[in-house]
């Protein structure tokens, strides 16, 4: 529960709201553009001030321009095959993460164009959708699995 000027406000979350279907369709278009290697299609779904977190390798966040460049580079090196994708719209009110969110899960199977090496990448993305545009995305990827499948070795800390 949040406190606001001495009055308690109850946080609510609902799966049923006016924009739920539109938000779901927006994210389905985003995922389809990824699968089709369409950086322009991905960029067209983002608001001009969008921020993307958890995707940029060493970068903390990407703006809309950097996000498009990230995917342009990825599409030049990998084919993407999305499978097992699920979508859940949720509207949050009276909380720090207020807004109309779309949660999506799936597996992005990457095939390296040069080597043919296949790497499945399970993902979860939480996206904030406003006026049919994605304004924020939070990527959650299984980075340890991704890195070990690419040949990196994990060394535990010395005792």
* Residue 135 within any structural domain of the chain: yes
pLDDT level of residue 2 (50, 70, 90 thresholds): very low
* Residue 72 within any structural domain of the chain: yes
Residue 104 sits in a domain of what CATH number? 3.10.450.50
> CA distances (Å), 145 to each of 48, 81, 99, 120, 141, in order?
32, 17, 31, 9, 9
Reported as a single tens digit per residue, the pLDDT across 22-47 is 999 999 999 999 999 999 999 999 99
Q: What is the pTM (predicted TM-score) of this model?
A: 0.85
Q: What is the spatial distance between Cα 126 and Cα 87, in angstroms, rounded to a whole number?
A: 10
Q: Tell me: pLDDT of 16 over 70.
A: yes
3-state DSSP call for residue 121?
strand
Sequence-distant (6+) residues with CB within 8 A of 23 are: 89, 100, 101, 102, 127, 129
* Residue 94 within any structural domain of the chain: yes
* Residue 3 within any structural domain of the chain: no
pLDDT level of residue 7 (50, 70, 90 thresholds): low
The domain of 113 spans 10-149
* Residue 155 within any structural domain of the chain: no
Total domains, the chain: 1
Q: Which two tokens stand for residue 122?
A: 């399970």
The average confidence (pLDDT) of the chain is: 90
Most confident range (mean pLDDT) of 1-10, 11-20, 41-50, 150-159 is 41-50
Specify the pLDDT at position 144.
82
* Residue 158 within any structural domain of the chain: no
* Residue 1 within any structural domain of the chain: no
Sequence-distant (6+) residues with CB within 8 A of 140 are: 54, 123, 124, 125, 126
* Residue 98 within any structural domain of the chain: yes
């Amino acid at each position: 529960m949040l406190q606001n000027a001495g009055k308690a406000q109850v946080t609510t979350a609902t799966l049923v709201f006016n924009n739920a279907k539109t938000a779901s369709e927006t994210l389905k278009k985003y995922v389809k553009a990824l699968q089709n290697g369409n950086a322009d299609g991905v960029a067209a779904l983002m608001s001009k001030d969008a921020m993307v977190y958890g995707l940029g390798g060493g970068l903390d966040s990407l703006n809309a321009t950097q996000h498009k460049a990230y995917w342009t580079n990825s599409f030049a090196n990998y084919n993407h095959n999305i499978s097992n994708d699920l979508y859940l719209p949720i509207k949050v009110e009276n909380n720090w993460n207020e807004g109309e969110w779309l949660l999506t899960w799936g597996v992005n199977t990457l095939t390296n164009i040069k080597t043919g090496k296949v790497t499945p990448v399970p993902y979860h993305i939480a996206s904030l959708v406003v006026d049919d545009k994605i304004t924020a995305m939070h990527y959650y990827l299984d980075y340890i699995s991704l890195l070990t499948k690419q040949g990196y070795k994990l060394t535990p800390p010395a005792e």
